[in-house]
Structure 1
Amino acid sequence: MFDDFLVRAAFAGLGVALAAAPLGCFVVWRRMAYFGDATAHAAVLGIALSLTFSAPMFAGPLVVSLLMAILVTSLSGRCFAMDTMLGVMAHSSLAVGLVAVSFLSGVRIDLMAYLFGDILSVSTNDLLVIWVGAAIVITLIASRWSGLLLSTMNPDLAHASGFSPKREQFILTIALAIVVAVAIKVVGALLIAAMLIIPAATARPLSKTPEVMAVVAVIIAGTASLGGLQASYMFDTPTGPTIVCTSAALFLLSGAVWRIVNAFGRNEQSA
């Protein structure tokens, strides 16, 4: 079954969708879009570290993404605003990673595959890493759902209910680092943030509760992954960017549907 590269690619896309979509809801609710982008950019430096020390390819991005997220969280507000700190750290780590890769001698690397993804080359081992990572992220989010949601909506109420907003933020940081590490093979470091944000943003106007939004986001992300893979195969386009384009098309479609439904509702009320 897994000898077919398209089947492996489809399962890889679904695994990333399952992990990224519910986490992306918290990214949207907390307005952490730039935070996710910065963490993903830092993963390029992790790739260089993995190649330097002959470590598993997901290990370097996981460690660097986690360190980046913790560092930015701890330093923000002390000297610079959060967006300034994220901008400096994101672009610096991306540049350092690209320069570090160029210094690696005796290593042949397709840098474009790590920047924009290479889902069609996913191996069975890659697939195992993706789904194990997705299972860890889903377990973290499901087990801490009440604390994460309450800390997102009202930190003071979370304190009163016995939850620590800082601890919940750290859990989100760990989950984000895992998603970045496992998604690099599928959509690449430059497009991971899109898979976090776009499905969640698409699901938002179509959902009445946070739980429904998370489920709808997973469905949208899975549809975008499979639809983008099919379109890439049909039109011979880069698969990672095509998946993101499909996700963006669904975002535009959901916005149009939401406006039509609202307009129809207003007409019904006026009548």
Structure 2
Amino acid sequence: MLDDFMTRATLAGIGVAFAAAPLGCFVVWRRMAYFGDATAHAAILGVALALAFQISIFVGAMVVALVMALTVTVLAGRGYAMDTLLGVLAHSALAFGLVAVSFLSGVRLDLMAYLFGDILSVSRTDLLVIWGGAAVVVALIMWRWSALLTSTLNEELAYASGLNPRQEQLVLTIALAITVAVAIKVVGVLLIAAMLIIPAAAARGLSRTPEAMAFIAAAIGAISAVAGLQGAYVLDTPAGPSIVCVATLLFAGLNIVGWRSQGDG
């Protein structure tokens, strides 16, 4: 079954959707959209370093994404607004990454794949890395689910409950770095934030509980991956952007239905 490239691509897309869904819910709840985007942009520097030192792309992207996220967390509140700090670090890392890639022979032609994904070239090894990373992310979120929710709702309540909100932020940071690393092959660094935010945002209006929102977001992400790949195959369009387009259409459609239901009520 895994000999077929479309089967591997579909499984890869679903794996990324499962990793991004619960994490994306916390990104939406905590209003961390720009934080996720900045972390994803930094991953291109990790790709360049991985290629330069001939190590795994997954490892390079994850390490740099984690360093970026931890740097932002440490420097936040030390004289700079969060959005300013994110803007400086995100665009600087992206620029340095693109310049670094230009010095590596034989890499220039693959640059678009790293920026927008190349899901159709996913190998069995890539599939193992994607699903392994997704399993780690889901396990992390499930392990700290109650603590993460409490810290997200109210930091003072978290402290009163014996929790450390900064420690929960670290859990999210690690999960975000892993998700960025596994999603590079599927949607590329420029579209990772979209797969984090759009399915979660689309699920928000359909959910009565946080847990339901995470499950619905995973379903929307998986549907987007499958439908986007089929659309790309039929229409001969880029696969990664096609997946994001389907997710956006689902978000728009679900919101329109929700508005009409509210109007009728």
| TM-score (normalised: structure 2) | 0.99
In the other structure, the counterpart of 2:141 is 141
Q: Work out whether 1:193 is the aligned partner of 2:160.
A: no
In the other structure, the counterpart of 1:21 is 21
In the other structure, the counterpart of 1:202 is 202
In the other structure, the counterpart of 1:38 is 38
Instruction: For residue 180 of structure 1, give the secondary structure of its aligned residue in structure 2.
Output: helix
Instruction: For residue 252 of structure 1, give the secondary structure of its aligned residue in structure 2.
Output: helix
In the other structure, the counterpart of 1:268 is none
Note the C-alpha offset of 1:257. Answer: 1.0
In the other structure, the counterpart of 1:103 is 103
In the other structure, the counterpart of 1:113 is 113
Q: Deviations over 1:93-116 (max 9, x none)?
A: 000000001111355651000000
For residues 9 and 158 of structure 1, what CA distance do their matches in structure 2 show?
41
Q: Deviations over 1:67-98 (max 9, x none)?
A: 00000011011021000000000000000000
The alpha-carbon distance between structure 1 residues 106 and 228, as it changes in their structure 2 partners (threshold 3 A), is closer
Alignment of 1:110-259 (within 5 A): 110-259=110-259
In the other structure, the counterpart of 2:6 is 6
In the other structure, the counterpart of 1:52 is 52
Instruction: For residue 2 of structure 2, give the secondary structure of its aligned residue in structure 1.
Output: coil
In the other structure, the counterpart of 1:269 is none
Does the Cα contact within 8 Å between 2:102 and 2:108 map onto a contact in 1? no
Percent identity reads 66
For residues 167 and 57 of structure 1, what CA distance do their matches in structure 2 show?
27
In the other structure, the counterpart of 1:77 is 77
Q: Which amino acid aligns with 1:19?
A: A
For residues 105 and 232 of structure 1, what CA distance do their matches in structure 2 show?
30
| TM-score (normalised: structure 1) | 0.96
Unaligned 5+ segments in structure 1 are 266-271
Instruction: For residue 58 of structure 1, give the secondary structure of its aligned residue in structure 2.
Output: helix
RMSD over aligned Cα atoms: 0.8
Q: Which amino acid aligns with 1:214?
A: A
Q: Which amino acid aligns with 1:187?
A: V
Unaligned 5+ segments in structure 2 are none
The alpha-carbon distance between structure 1 residues 111 and 157, as it changes in their structure 2 partners (threshold 3 A), is same
For residues 169 and 196 of structure 2, what CA distance do their matches in structure 1 show?
16
For residues 23 and 77 of structure 1, what CA distance do their matches in structure 2 show?
24
- Runs of 4+ aligned structure 1 residues displaced above 6 Å come to none
* Structure of larger gyration radius: 1
